[in-house]
Amino acid sequence: MAFSLRTTRDYQLKLFSIKKILEIIGENINDEINIDGKAYLLSSFVDLGGNGGGGSTYIWNTTHLVVTNANQVEFYLSNIISDFSNTRLYINGVHYEYGITKAYHIIGRTLLWHGGFELETGDEIYLKYVKSI
């Protein structure tokens, strides 16, 4: 799971992972973190991709989409996405649902935005999707 934070001086957005937080509060020298009195190996971390922990793991890609023009509705994707059910679109930290009747959908390498409001050039957009193997 990824999240973003803005720096206090220049308000630049930076993307972080849960693994990074575990590394900060854990002990990198011994490759461990203590939770509820038990030691766990930091190197054994597996991102379950927010799928509810059902045992399946995914390889996720995250792409930063840039709004180049106000009211932009089409975004070119550098990769073909084959599993649309496992896409996550975040705009300014808010998750939007996939589907023609929802906020966005994808045709080929084009993401189409129709989420009920106009995008602005300052919006931070991230698309998270399962990597095709």
pTM of this prediction?
0.58
Looking at residue 49, what is its pLDDT? 55
Measured from the Cβ of residue 119, the count of other Cβ atoms closer than 10 Å reads 19
3-class DSSP state of 84: helix
Q: What is the pLDDT of residues 2-39, one digit of tens each?
A: 677 778 888 777 777 787 788 888 887 778 888 888 88
Phi/psi of residue 43, nearest 5 degrees: -70, -10
Instruction: Name the residue with higher pLDDT: 23 or 114.
Output: 114
Measured from the Cβ of residue 126, the count of other Cβ atoms closer than 10 Å reads 20
Enter the tokens of residue 122.
Answer: 């300052």
Partner residues linked to 8 by β-bridges: none
Instruction: Name the residue with higher pLDDT: 33 or 133.
Output: 33
Looking at residue 132, what is its pLDDT? 52
Q: What is the pLDDT of residues 38-96, one digit of tens each?
A: 888 877 776 655 544 444 455 778 899 999 999 999 999 998 888 888 899 999 888 89
Looking at residue 47, what is its pLDDT? 63
